[in-house]
Structure 1
Amino acid sequence: MTLYTDWRTLPQAVRGNAVALGNFDGVHRGHVHLLESLKMARPDCPPAVVTFEPHPRAFFRPQDPPFRLMRADMRAQALSEQGVDHVVQIPFDATFSHSGPRDFVRDVLIGGLDVAHVACGADFAFGHRRTGDVVLLESLLGQHGVGVSIVPQLSDASGPISSSRIRRLIQEGYPERAAELLGRTWSITGEVVQGDQRGRLLGFPTANIALGDYIEPARGVYAVRVRLPDGRDVPGVANVGRRPTINDGKESRLEAHLFDFDEDLYGQTLSVALVALLREEKRFKGLDELKAHIACDVVQARACLERHSAC
């Protein structure tokens, strides 16, 4: 898979492909359904994706709390794993946000990509103030002889599978349910930064990762699996929150303790998969009580991960 960030200078290999449109935050089962529908519609064309960065919601509402399910680089990797050959990531800036729907079709889809076919969800909207809908998209592309697949949302017993639904589950502390909709365990990927080493003093050293643009999960202690840069998976336990016992007053962060592991991870990029929430964030009377509860968390996390491995 190749990632392109300038739709104006695309090589010939990207032109004439079948293209799926959307934000693809999370690359969940609904997105996979859309991609499979695209492949079925045009099996003769290499599949490509046109997406946007930053997410339009982040551009228009920068004051909102972070909400992303994955970083842009992880999104591209996940799309590659679904057989996407090319990802065109359009910079969503002030200029682009003021482009009309006809501009998007004429300049990007036809002029930039010379699309052979397009697939999108029934709720896809585009152009300035979201004035373009799928009816207009079909009409405009039809004038160029380009077919459009309007793909209904994939649903389960609880309703349509969507990024917003997955976000709610993560915020409410149900990573297992989120994993069912994603098709994999939800992960936070980031660089290990220097902490205050309080975990080491308590006997449980941690790898500290800022949440950044990720949505903040329910605060508490999780059983986790940590993917190292060399591909190893290490079981562990992690805290997400503001550490109320020591009252540091800082923003929420993720602190992961890796089981039976003693290597320097500073500066390395880890992917921490949240398997299950063990308990909510809690203030303890002091460090001794905190240390005792962490020891219990470790035992509980080991048992939880063993059960999940057996499934």
Structure 2
Amino acid sequence: FHLTPLPQKLDLFEHAGLDLAVVLPFDVKLASLSADDFVSRIIVGALAARHVIIGHDFFFGRNRGGTPETMQAAAQKLGFGITIIPPVAEDGEVFSSSAIRLHLAQGDVKGATRLLGRTWRVEGTVVGGAKRGTGLGFPTANIPLPRGTTLGHGIYAVRVHLDGARHDGAAYLGTRPTYDDGMPVLEVFLLDFDGDLYGRTIEVEFVDFIRADRKFDSSQALIAQMERDCARARDILAAEE
């Protein structure tokens, strides 16, 4: 799944001070270009690039025929500069999207933050649910996660961004084993918030993992645990602040 969807990526570029971003639709026409044609038509012809920066594992052109080495040869031939970023690692772990996805799949959002350099976020439109959270005293905003998202099931301390404001919260992702063991949906409880969120778009920032999902013997036992989870989320978010 995409760790950083395009709108979020463009927003990050803007905040980093990037002057211009050109987004090329990856259609059949672009995919059919050979590596040489991609360089000559896009990099040199359309963009008139004076310097190109790529990663050590960057592949391009039809059938991934272009490599950092072929880009370097093209730079020498066509007269533009090139910088190839080598692998970046810490404690023996190479920073990569695959490594970040693995951390998220294990619920290790702190590890994902370390590799990303920022907290991982998801954005979605709040949809209706079974209202079990409301009945338990914890009304939640339900958000379908993007298709293919791999995030460990459990409780998280989160921050929720809504209309320019930021709210502390606790989020649950799981199959609700105490009740129906159904399809997983992200359920977010905003601390100290009173308002209707249905149909509104929110962004959820995952700060830390609190505990794994599990089944409870009764609703009362679940409520008691949810109260402890929210208290823990408050402590984590206060410390992060």
**In structure 2, what is the Cα distance between the partners aligned to 1:153 and 1:78?**
22
Within 5 Å, which residues of 2 pair with 1:25-44? none
Q: Secondary structure at the match of 2:22?
A: strand
2:209 matched to 1:277?
yes
In structure 2, the partner of 1:69 is 3
Query: RMSD between aligned alpha carbons?
Result: 1.7
List alignment gaps of at least 5 residues for structure 1.
1-66
On the 8 A contact 2:101/2:150 being kept in 1, the answer is: no
Corresponding residue number in structure 2 for 1:171 = 105
- Which consecutive segments of 4 or more residues in structure 1 shift more than 3 A? none
d(CA) in 2 for partners of 1:146 and 1:308? 44
1-structure distance, mates of 2:229, 2:173: 13
Kept after mapping to 2: 8 A contact 1:70/1:214? no
Match of 1:196 in 2: 130
Question: Which stretch of structure 1 is more off in the superposition, 153-162 or 123-132?
Answer: 153-162
User: Is contact 1:225–1:233 with CA below 8 Å preserved after alignment?
Assistant: yes
SS in 2 for 1:88: coil
Mapped partners of 1:243, 1:85: distance in 2 = 46
CA displacement 1:233-290 (0-9 Å, x = unmatched): 111111012222221522x221110011001122222111111111111122233332
2:170 pairs with 1:237 = yes
Range with greater deviation from structure 2 (165-174 or 92-101): 92-101
Count of aligned pairs between the two proteins: 241
Which of 45, 48, 59 aligns to 1:125? It is 59
1:150-178 CA-to-partner distances (Å, cap 9, x unmatched) read 12122222332222111111111211121
Structure 2 distance, partners of 1:158, 1:138, is: 28
Give the stretch that moved more between structures: 197-206 or 78-87: 78-87
SS in 2 for 1:247: coil
| Distance in 2 separating the partners of 1:98 and 1:287 | 57
Question: 70, 77, 92: which one pairs with 1:158?
Answer: 92
2:30 counterpart of 1:96: yes
Show the counterpart of 1:180.
114
Q: Percent identity?
A: 38
Which residue in the other structure is 2:226 paired with? 294
Say which SS state the counterpart of residue 23 (structure 2) adopts: strand
Counterpart contact for 1:68–1:213, Cα < 8 Å: no
Distance 1:113 1:263, change over 3 A: same
Instruction: Kindly indicate whether residue 149 of structure 2 is the aligned counterpart of residue 215 of structure 1.
Output: yes
Partner Cα distance (1:254, 1:225) in 2: 14
Q: What is the Cα deviation at residue 194 of structure 1? A: 1.8
After superposition, give the CA deviation of every residue in 1:166-208 in whole Å (9 maximum; x if it has no partner). Answer: 1111111211121122222211111112222221111100111
Distance across 2 between alignment mates of 1:90 and 1:255:
35
Q: Aligned residue for 1:303?
A: 235
Taking a change above 3 Å as real, the CA distance of residues 113 and 213 of structure 1, as seen in their structure-2 partners, is farther
* TM-score of the pair, normalised by structure 2: 0.93
